[in-house]
Structure formats: structure tokens, C-alpha cells
Structure 1
Amino acid sequence: MSKKIVTVVGATGTQGKGVIAAFRNNPSYHIRALTRSPTSASALALSALGLEVVQADINDPSSLQAAFAGSHIIYAVTNFFEPFAALQSGPKALEVEVQQGINLADAAAATPTLEHYIWSTLPNASAISAGKYLIPHFEGKNRVDDYIKTKLPALWQKTTRFWVSYYSSNLAYPMFTPYLVPTAGKYVQFANYAPGTLIRTVGDVGANVGPFVKAVVEQPDKTTRGAAVLAALPETYTAEELLQTWARARGVKAQLVQISRAAFGELWPLWADEMGVMMEFWEEFGERSWSVAGGGEGEGVLDAEALGLQGLQGLEEAFRGLEV
């Protein structure tokens, strides 16, 4: 029996590495690792593992079509935060990500061997909140969702929407980092959201994304095509519980201090309209934040329990290995 080709976009990125780890030692699959720079240290490390490393650029549709040729499964991901950092603008980065997502979808739709398209996207915050919350790094992906559904219906029937929740490594981002206040003898996390805000987290992306993707691919009895999959630990944490888990893992004391939206924006002006808005959305909508727009809470969403996943790395262990 010939091996199925699993093509991984962004193979040297955090999600890509996790997907590769899930299939690398499985003789049923041949991994094709896509990267813009096949001579980079990260790409050469993949080559050293015996993987097929192929040059492709998500801004170049022709390179994607060539790289996708013969693929049976494609894991597609975009990186909003690369153009966000370069352009210093959420709306501009959103437009870049939309085009990148369309490029990926068009190339996948033009791949006759394709059986399963796993698209790393996010819930439709704008629709869930009736337009109140537009989060740029959600919105761009949502527009690609709509493009696939309306313009590429055959691809939509092969698509799993894959929602990767809050990374444990987000605490390395300045607006989430707990800062040591020596006179208080503790770390302080400044937040524009309440301590009781519910947060779904995947923990360590590199450790936990792979098992979810493997389950999506290898459980034909689960209707994953056309569904949304929430890659998150079974437990739901409040913002306070998440911070205290980090503190316990590090052997320190920590306190969440809620500040106003205006003060948060003064500290991190660009990020307030990105991550700050995301946290406000989660604070208001709680578990509904991870639902299919127009449906009930959790409707149409497969989580770790639905996929029968066990043995995921826990959040405290993820925090032990995190340097901030």
C-alpha cells in the first residue's frame, strides 16, 4: 500500500513542527515539509530527519500548486503576526492574511489527489458577537473560511476547520507577561480583562497540536470534514487560574491586576486592538467564544473528549519549560 502524502505548510513553525511530530514515525505517511527557506537551519534539521523538504511561499500561488502536487492531506496555516509586525497595522496584516489563505485554498482545490484539507483558522468572533468584536487575526481567517465555503464548495467538503486555542507561550508576549515587582515580592500581570475571564488553552502547541491533527486524520468514524475541531486541553481555566498555574510551575507568587482598556492601550497601543480585543471578547462570551456562529454553545465543534484524546501534556508542565 502506498504511503499517503501529508503536506505541512509552515513546517518550521510552531504548529507545523507539532504536526510533523505526529506523523514522522508512522510508515503509513510520507511527510512533505514546506518552507520558504529550505537552506535555513530549521529546514536543514528536517532534512536531516529524512523528510522531504520543499520550497514554497504562500504569497506565490504557483509555488504552492507545485508543492501540493500528489498530496492526500494538507495542513494549511498562515502567520498573521509576521505581516502584523512588519506593517505595524492590524487591518493591513488582515488583508495580507486573507490573500495568503486564498492562495492556499486555490492551490489545494487544484490538487486532484487531495482527500483532506486541514485549515488552521479560528471562530468567527464578529459573527458570534453580532459585530461587536472584530479581532484582526480571527477576521482574516474567517474571510478565508467564507471564501472556501462559497467559492470552492468541493474543497469545503474536504475541509476541517482547525481552531488552535491560547498558547502557553503567549505569556512571552509583552502584553501577557507577568512582570516582577521586587517590592511586592511577586509577579504582576496587567490585564484589561477580569480575573474570571474563561480561557481555553492548548498548552504547549508543539506537544499538543500533533495529537489533535492525528486524531482528525485517523478517526473516520468522526465527521471531521466540514466540522470545526477545537485544539484545547479538556480543562477550562480562568485568567486567574492560568496565571496561578504559571506561578506554581515557576515556584513564584503572582497577581493579576485589572486595568482599564485605555491604560492597557497606553502600555501596548498596537496590541490593544489585537490581543486586548480578543481578551474582551472572551470575557464577554466565555465558552460561546469557541462555538460555530449561529449555533448553540459548542455546536458542531469536536474537542479532545469527542476525539477520545488522552495523555495530552498538561498546562503546568508546559509552563515549566517556558522562559519569559
Structure 2
Amino acid sequence: MTTKLVTVVGATGQQGQAVVAAFTNNPAYRVRGLTRNPDSAAAKALASQGVEVVKADLNDFDTVAAAFADSHIIYAVTDFWALYQKDGFEKARDTERQEGYNMVRAAAAVPTLEHYIWSTLAKPKEEYPVYHFDGKFAVDELIRKEYPDLHAKTTLILVCFYGNNLQIASMRPYWIETAQKYVQFTTYDPQLIIPFIGDVKNLTPFIEAIVSSPAEKVKNGALVIASIAQWTAEKWVVEWARARGKEAQLVRISREDYDKLWPWPRWAEEFALMMDYFQFVPPHDWIEPGVKVLTAQDLDVQPVQTMEEWVESYELPDPNSVTF
């Protein structure tokens, strides 16, 4: 039986590993995983699963084109946060956009390509800028406007809020001994509704559903919303604490004080911008008009782990081990 080649960009990252898992036990596919560091422990673990690990620099078009050669399916994603830690917001946004452009150009030239899956985010809104949205949406626009043949093969996927964002310094619930409760400091309304993917392994059944669905359902630039639940910001933290027999309280503070608490490397500022977007931009404005939207229900996706199961199992890592 002829197997189809699936190329996964960022194969050692959170999304990449979940995508690889959708194919590694399916004899109809073979997987090529792209990474910046094929000598890393994560890359070696993928190789031990039979994944062809290939080094690729998304800033170098020639290496991307070589890595995409002979692919039938490509899962493309960019990592704003790694870029940001090196270069700051503005340059990270511009670099991410260029990386996305390089992948589009390379994918469009692959004669064997049947399906291009691009991991994107919500449509930017000038009044509520979010740097890690901007570059990705520019790539959506490039595909739509300049690459009609690739657009016909494209599924956009919007991977929603990770449950483990709880570990991020500016979102982490801190234990206050004298209050005998966890406190999370926020700049946003605790009743803000957040679309959650939960554990990123829930991305796996979304990918399985996308590649097994009829082309007319998922291609031509359709947008899959990879969300398994909508919880309020308060419920996210309170339910997690309750599963540990504790109470939690969200304390809303000013943006000025919030930014002072975590002044560098400005993670707090970017996440606060994102939460402002969630709060003040209505969901129908998150998506370009005319784009077909598909949900978990539309694709009959069953999560690997529900949010209720997530709160029971998720333990915060040592804050000293978290780099953001």
C-alpha cells in the first residue's frame, strides 16, 4: 500500500506533537517532522516513533521547500513566543509573518500536495491589537488573495486557549498562606468567556477529523475552531483549585499595576492585550466575513480529555521551571 507523506512543522512543539500523534499509528501515513534542532531530546523521541526528523529554518525558503518536497499533507505553524523572547513584539510579528509566507510559497509549489492545514488565530482588530494574531492573519490573507490553487487545498485551524496557560507567570494562581486560598491577578472581567482547547492533546482528534472529512467540507479555506468547551476565566481557576480542595479568587487590578508586576519579558502585556481582545471584540468579528466555520460538533470530535478531567489531573509545574 502506498503511504501518504504528512509533513508537520514544529513537530517537537505542543501543537506539533499532537498532530504527529494523529498519524503515527496509522499505516496509511508516514510522518516527517520539521524542527530547528534535530538533536534535541524531543526530536530523538519522535525519531524513535518512526518519524523522519528533518532540520528546517522557516526563515530560509530553500530549506522549507526542500523539507516540504513530496508531501501530501502539510501542517504548518509558527512559534511567535520563541521569536518574541529573542526579538520583542514587533520584530517577532514581522518574522512570523515572513515564515508563514515562506511556507505558503513552498507549499504552493509541491505538486503532490493534497491538503494544507495552517494554524492561525483570530482576525486582528485595530482598536485591540494582539501581536501574535497579526502575523498569522496576514498569512491567511496571502493564501486567500494570491494563491487560489493552494486555497482550494487549505484548512485553517484556530487552536483555542490551552488549559496549561495557568502556568504562565501573569496567569498563574498564587497560593496566599494567610488567606488560605489561591489568588489570580487579572486585568479582565472574571466572567469573560474563553474558548478552551484544554489539554493540547485534544488537537489530535481535530486533525484526525479534518483529514478524514470530505474535501468539500473542510477545504477551500474553511476555518476549524479547535475548542472543546467555553468556560469563564473565573471557572477555569476556581474549578482547578476546587479539585485540590482549595478556594481561588480572581483579583482584578489595573493594567499599570499588572505590567509592573511582570515588567519583562513583557509576557503579561501581550496576554493582557489578548484578554482585552476576547472581552471587547465580539466573536463574529474574530473571523473574516464569508469564511466557512466548523466546530467540534460539526466534525463530531470527541475530546481526549474534557475540561472537567483536565482540572482533576493538571498540576502546576515549579514556577522556577517555567520560562515565560
Which residue, out of 249, 270, 273, partners 1:255?
249
Name structure 2 gaps, 5 residues minimum: 318-324
Aligned to 2:320: none
With over 3 angstroms needed to count, the CA separation of the structure-2 counterparts of 1:143 and 1:317, relative to structure 1, is: same
Counterpart pick for 2:275 among 263, 275, 279: 279
Deviations 1:191-211 (A, max 9, x none): 000011010010011x20111
- Aligned partner of 2:156: which letter? R
Query: Which residue matches 2:128?
Result: 133
Shift of 1:322: 3.4
- Scaled by the length of structure 2, the TM-score of the pair is 0.92
Deviation at residue 48 of structure 1 after TM alignment: 1.1
**C-alpha displacement of 1:286:** 5.0
Give matches, 1:147-162, under 5 Å. Answer: 147-162=142-157
Contact kept, 8 Å, 1:135 with 1:273, in 2: the verdict is no
2:26 corresponds to: 26
Structure 1 position 294, deviation (Å): 3.4
Q: What is the aligned partner in structure 2 of residue 71 from structure 1?
A: 71
Residues 34 and 221 of structure 1, relative CA distance in 2, 3 Å threshold: closer
**Which consecutive aligned stretches of 4+ in structure 1 deviate over 6 angstroms post-superposition?**
none
Q: Does the CA-based 8 Å contact 1:199-1:282 persist in structure 2?
A: yes
Give deviations 1:29-59, integer Å, cap 9, x for gaps.
Answer: 1111111222221111111112211221212
CA RMSD of aligned residues (A): 1.6
For residues 163-196 of structure 1, the C-alpha deviation after alignment (integer angstroms, 9 at most, x for no partner) is: 0000111111111100111110001000000011
Task: Report if the CA contact (8 A) 2:202-2:305 is conserved.
Answer: yes
Residue 230 of structure 1 is matched in structure 2 by: 225
Q: How does 1:105-184 map to 2 (within 5 A)?
A: 105-126=104-125, 131-184=126-179
For residues 149 and 22 of structure 1, the distance between their equivalents in structure 2, rounded to whole angstroms, comes to 27
The answer as to whether partners of 2:205 and 2:302 remain within 8 angstroms in 1 is no
AA paired with 2:186? A
Q: Is the 8 A contact 1:54 1:67 kept in 2?
A: yes
Cα deviation for residue 300 of structure 1 reads 2.3
Return 5+ residue gaps in structure 1 as ranges: none
Q: What SS does structure 2 have at the residue aligned with 1:161?
A: strand
TM, length-normalised to structure 1: 0.92
The DSSP-based 3-state class of the residue aligned with 1:163 is strand
